[in-house]
Chains A and B, each alone.
Chain A
Amino acid sequence: MVTTTEKMIGNYPDERGHFGPYGGLFVSETLMDPLDELREAYQRFMQDEAFLKELDEDLKHYVGRPSPIYHAKRWSEELNGAQIYLKREDLNHTGAHKVNNTVGQALLARHMGKTRIIAETGAGQHGVASATVAARLGLECVVYMGAVDIARQEANVYRMRLLGAEVRSVESGSKTLKDALNEAMRDWVTNVDNTFYIIGTVAGPHPYPAMVRDFQAVIGREARRQMPEQAGRQPDALVACVGGGSNAIGLFYPYLDDREVAIYGVEAAGSGLDSGQHAAPLCAGKPGVLHGNRTYLMEDKDGQIIETHSVSAGLDYPGVGPEHAWLKDSGRANYVAVTDQEALAAFHDLTRIEGIIPALESSHALAYAAKLAQTMRRDQIVLVNLSGRGDKDMHTVAAQEGLKI
């Protein structure tokens, strides 16, 4: 085990995007050269001081970084276990971690001379974050969103339209995030000359999983600097929710070499892993190929992708970033799942006890962190990535209580 993780850290992916057996480049021929062009540009600009300076300035003055770390004292007291700290990605401009990545990719798009941005979105957070940076840079923006998600995330749809983006409803397949991704790929393959596809998570063909991770890793880099200042030391455990897994990898990646820090990724168990109504490929799926990479998937015995279920639209995805698949197999990270009901309970707890309304996605991480903290000593520390704020989820939560707002 130790040798596997030792080899793993810092060396992945390989030059063709493989994380062990996962990742890679599984796309049609038309996209091979554009992906190569993207990989080349990304590698060049990530060494370019002027580009990195511009990115840092944007993250500081536009996104509002660094995001604070907050000690949830009352909640920790109530749980009577380890101390829970929250990395406050919910305080970023646009309300979630997604903007870290869109700022980076949009900057890259501009430097590559692309004039049109496309994106897929589930909960709408990545769509809003893409529309936001497109507005700021004066780029045309089209966001693909499943018809089912459009219905349950009306507010974000309106935000995207206000920002000048065109939101295209996707009516094929299950009409959720995976279908939006298919449709965005189809757009890209058609308009590849002038269009930059901003993928919102650490999935897709190489270089996306590595590139999105690198843009999100600012979360973990900051946390490693902030924790000693604030808590006197690094945490004993990290907890983050995993849909595609971008907020999780962003927190985990800079900590991979810190072996004494335990890592937990939390998937959506929906109505329960036994019910089949969930979105937990790492906990209950198997490896396969979808959306340009090999990873764990929710699929049936014939290899067809099956519909997922989660109360949180942002976790409703049948695949997961290939690096998480690799971290799971290598044993460096643990993957667990919490149900809709557990996540909703944590949503209410944090709201009432700390005065912070978390996103339903992040509530999955909170629910597991609460369970974990109760098995730990009071002088231990759990750091949770509070990846987004819950404003967008008011309708969903109210509906759970039979209310319409």
Chain B
Amino acid sequence: MSMLKEKFAQLRQQQKTALIPFITAGDPLPEITVDLMQDLVAAGADIIELGIPFSDPMADGPVIQRASERALEYHVSLRDVLEMVSRFRQMDRETPVVLMGYLNPIEIMGYQNFAEQAADAGVDGALVVDLPPEEGQEFQQILKQHGLDQIYLVAPTSTAARIERICELSGGFVYYVSVKGVTGASHLDIKSLDEKLKQIRENTDLPVGVGFGIKDAETAAAVSQVSDAVVVGSALVSRVEALADQPEKIGAALRETLSGMRQAMDNAVHK
């Protein structure tokens, strides 16, 4: 059983919704990323989504763009990101790690090479934003051979036929992009979210996570009542940004924000 599958099974038993924080690897300093990942786990993260820095993050809003820029000042490469996961794995064998990024850094490393090294490092899944199912079949096969899950996005614009196809192809969980827009956007509408998730669930037994636009504990709690996982990115990364020149304070700040979300989500579910 993949670690993602195992984790979701566990959470389902405990009637908990997964909390998945996102940070960009190397932001603001490469040497603190592994510590920050541990802080996130301590504050209640069930799965960690780690961003691979890219020079042209087309699907991201300004907050996560700037995180990439900060990491790239230190030339953080995909190899460096895998090295960070590997160090994290030495200390934490239970929290699944999903890499999120864009295709070009993976393509230049080579799909096979990437899959081998990612599996060795202890990565559990990959979400490649600009690799839709139409172009992703070769990559997906190679990931599968190495026991890695490929996570695909479903968007508000996805047609019923696309949703069906994406659900068939997805591994680990299905990631629903809750708003039309880039990461960090606003205006998340819980009611239409619920309807869309129902439609997705008609096509799959996989857990469904929701991300893009979850800004605070209140939204996280609301989303957690209709989804299997809540992904939080920009809300955390903007705290990293605010403390970029006081990196020793970032861990505590992330713990504060994330544990607030965790509590709100757990209370909401138990209500």
Contact = CB atoms under 8 A, between A and B. Distances in A.
Partners in one complex: yes
Interface of A: 16, 24-34, 172-173, 178-179, 182, 185-186, 189-193, 288-292, 297, 299, 301-306
B109 A29 contact: no
Interface in B132-165: 132, 134-135, 152-159, 162
Contacts of B102: 289
A190 B130 contact: no
Contacts of B59: 28, 30, 186, 189
Given A29-B153, A33-B162, A182-B58, A289 B104 contact: yes
Which of A31, A32, A304, A305 has most chain B Cβ within 10 Å? A304
B262 to A, nearest CB: 28
10 contacts: A25-B135, A28-B58, A28-B59, A28-B129, A28-B132, A30-B155, A172-B62, A291-B58, A297-B104, A305-B104
Nearest to B163: A29
Given A25-B134, A26-B135, A172-B65, A302 B159 contact: no
B105 interface: yes
Given A33-B162, A186-B182, A291-B58, A303 B107 contact: yes
Which of A31, A189, A301 has most chain B Cβ within 10 Å? A189
A189 B179 CA distance: 10
Contacts of B157: 29-34, 192
A222 B106 CA distance: 43
B132 A29 contact: yes
Interface residues of chain A: helix, strand, loop or mixed (majority)? mixed
A223 to B, nearest CB: 35
Contact of B135 (A24, A178, A192): A24
B108 A302 contact: yes
Contacts of A192: 157, 180
B61 A186 contact: yes
A320 to B, nearest CB: 15
B268 to A, nearest CB: 27
B135 to A, nearest CB: 5
Contacts of A290: 56, 104
Given A32-B162, A305-B56, A288 B130 contact: no
Interface string B175-197: 00100111001000000000000
Contact of A16 (B54, B58, B105, B134): B134
Which of B77, B108, B129 has most chain A Cβ within 10 Å? B108
A288 B104 contact: yes
Contacts of A34: 157
Which of A32, A178, A288 has most chain B Cβ within 10 Å? A32
A325 to B, nearest CB: 14
A302 B61 CA distance: 23
B12 interface: no
B158 A186 contact: no
Which of A28, A32, A190 has most chain B Cβ within 10 Å? A28
A304 B155 contact: no
Interface residues of chain B: helix, strand, loop or mixed (majority)? loop
B233 to A, nearest CB: 14
A301 B61 CA distance: 26
B135 A302 contact: no
B131 interface: yes
Contacts of B78: 302-303
Interface in B38-61: 53-61
A199 to B, nearest CB: 13
Nearest to B53: A304
Interface string B111-129: 0000000000000000001
A180 to B, nearest CB: 11
Contacts of A288: 104, 107-108
Contact of B58 (A25, A185, A302, A306): A185
B155 to A, nearest CB: 4
A291 B54 CA distance: 13
Contacts of B107: 288-289, 303
B237 interface: no
B104 A33 contact: no
A341 B158 CA distance: 50
B131 A172 contact: no
B158 A29 contact: yes
Nearest to B161: A33
Interface string B4-25: 0000000000000000000000
Interface in B74-98: 75, 77-79
Interface string B220-250: 0000000000000000000000000000000
Interface string B199-231: 000000000000000000000000000000000
Contacts of B156: 30
A120 to B, nearest CB: 12
B72 interface: yes
B69 interface: yes
Contacts of B75: 302
A26 B131 contact: yes
Nearest to B166: A29
Contacts of A289: 102-104, 107, 130
Contacts of A185: 58
B132 A299 contact: no
B234 to A, nearest CB: 13
